[in-house]
Amino acid sequence: MIQYEVKGGKPLHGTVTISGAKNAAVAMLPATLLVDGVCRIENVPDISDVRLLLEILADMGARIQRLGRNTLQIDCSHVHNTTAPIELVRRIRASYYLIGVELGRFGHARVAMPGGCNFGVRPIDQHIKGFAALGANVEQADGYVCADAPEGGLQGGHVYLDIVSVGATMNILLAAVLSNGMTVIENCAKEPHIVDLANFLNAMGAKISGAGTDVIKVRGVKSLRGGFYSIIPDQIEAGTYMTAAAAVGGSVLIENVIPKHLDCITAKLREMGVRVTEYDDSIRVESTRRLRRANVKTMPYPGFPTDMQPQIAVCMALAEGTSIITEGIYDNRFRYTGELSRMGANIQVESKTAVIDGVDRLYGCEVRACDLRAGAAMVIAAMAADGLSTIEDAHYIERGYEDIIGKLTALGAQIRRVEVKERHKEVQSVG
Ligand code: EPU
């Protein structure tokens, strides 16, 4: 087990550089299966979800070369239709993109039902509805999704999503790129990583328009060629460091960001009394006083992201007054509040609403990372708390944050990573 040991109470000062967007990378890597040629991708975050996907692609026969920590060269032109290993696929939610790309490239897909963070039931009915609109026959049996294109391949179709879904939007897009004719996806998600995936595919020869609006049109092409692409900075990693500076205090310059993607987080932090200064591709967050209360409702982009909900909760836990969070995306994304309460936070959860009465201080203790973003929130809370904290199951955090220990240490945090054999271990000093 990986655990982090954090000694809290020290403000953060310095500069941090944001890595490439995880949720763009985890779609783009499977998308290389659609390309007949070599893809060179820069700014790929070095995180465990990416390493897992590379393992899956390599197992399927992709030729992968690492040209630097964040630059990959991937050639899938000679990959044959194989079933990706179930034990790897089950460990990552984004493996659902293999269904769209295999269906698009081979006309047939057999992929184990995806895993990922558990926020309640996470169906993929909208993905399946989209594949069916392109003429595919999709069945689910024995823990696998099996999809077959009709004779002559997938045909362009019209899909109106019942729910705004990031995964369904990208997956239908992936399946449609090599289909015959025009596909229209309505009520689609507008997240920056959707635009990034469309830009990547267009750079390889696809014909996609409208990404970033709620109607995407895909004109099918015969093949995609290799090319070069650089992934956008990670909106959520940037937001996490913004909330860290806000909750812990100090002054942090966050480099390699697209400030526009952070508008809703910037606005919320300003409302809470934090000073946020935007530059062309960086943002400074300064926090010297106690935070003010605020309310947040998570929504699809450009609303406040659900993936920032646990981190902003830590700010609210330390703010003056009562704050309310309404979770608008998932059924069950408040599991981490029990862990925050152990540190002294005062949080009442009722269904999809959390009422947070701000406290003067949090206290270090042993807590668990329930999932990726909850884990990041625990790190922030531990840095803001008095005393020593141990965060168990920190491997979740490493699914989505490149070198979080190195980046936070450079900002003055006292944090270290330990690998332990037993679950319960005595807390040690981090000096
Ligand atoms: N939904 C359905 N049916 C579907 C698809 C989604 O009912 O077919 C529901 C989901 O259960 C959820 C809502 O629609 O209640 C939105 O889900 P969405 O499909 O947008 O989420 P996702 O594609 O499974 C991605 C990110 C998540 C992020 C969400 C929302 C990846 C690999 N994951 O998940 O990222 O929370 O979009 O923005 O891109 C994270 O990075 O920590 C993370 C969990």
- What gap in Å lies between CA 279 and CA 253, rounded to an integer? 10
Q: What is the pLDDT of residue 115?
A: 62
* pLDDT confidence tier of residue 426, bands split at 50, 70 and 90: very low
pLDDT at residue 428 greater than cutoff 70: no
- What gap in Å lies between CA 100 and CA 214, rounded to an integer? 20
- What gap in Å lies between CA 65 and CA 106, rounded to an integer? 24
Q: By C-alpha distance, which of 395, 376, 402 is closest to 70?
A: 402
User: Which ligand 1 atom sits closest to the C-alpha of 170?
Assistant: 23
Residue 29 near residue 39, CB atoms below 8 Å: no
| Ligand 1 pocket residue status of 166, Cβ below 6 Å | yes
Mean pLDDT (whole number) for 318-323: 98
Residues in contact with 336: Cβ distance below 8 Å, sequence separation at least 6, in sequence order: 310, 313, 370, 371, 374, 377, 378
The fraction of the chain above a pLDDT of 90, given in percent, is 90
Which two three-digit tokens encode residue 370? 């329930």
- Stretch (H or E) spanning 255: strand 250-255
Q: Where do the H-state alpha helices sit in 160-234?
A: 166-176, 192-203
| Ligand 1 pocket residue status of 306, Cβ below 6 Å | yes
Q: How far apart are the first and last CA of the chain?
A: 21
Residue 206 near residue 250, CB atoms below 8 Å: no
Mean pLDDT of the chain: 94
The position carrying tokens 């990034």 is 196
Q: What is the pLDDT of residue 427?
A: 39
Lowest mean pLDDT among 10-19, 176-185, 389-398, 417-426: 417-426
pLDDT at residue 118 greater than cutoff 70: no
Residue 190 near residue 222, CB atoms below 8 Å: no
Give the number of residues written for the chain: 431
| b/e 228-239 (16+ beta carbons within 10 angstroms → b) | ebbbbbbbbbbb
Query: Is residue 315 annotated as part of the catalytic site, yes or no?
Result: no
Mutating to test ligand 1, I would choose from 95, 145, 165 the residue with most ligand atoms within 8 A of its C-beta, which is 165
In angstroms, the Cα distances linking 119 to 92, 369, 374 are: 14, 13, 11
pLDDT at residue 429 greater than cutoff 70: no
Mean pLDDT (whole number) for 371-390: 98
At 58-68, the pLDDT tens digits run: 999 999 999 99
At 187-202, the pLDDT tens digits run: 999 999 999 999 999 9
In angstroms, the Cα distances linking 349 to 2, 304, 334 are: 29, 19, 7
CA-closest residue to ligand 1 atom 24: 167
Q: What is the pLDDT of residue 119?
A: 61
At 59-111, the pLDDT tens digits run: 999 999 999 999 999 999 999 877 888 888 888 889 999 999 999 999 999 99
Q: By C-alpha distance, which of 192, 162, 151, 157 is closest to 173?
A: 157
Q: By C-alpha distance, which of 27, 32, 30, 102 is closest to 74?
A: 32
Residue 307 near residue 313, CB atoms below 8 Å: no
* pLDDT confidence tier of residue 140, bands split at 50, 70 and 90: confident
* pLDDT confidence tier of residue 117, bands split at 50, 70 and 90: low
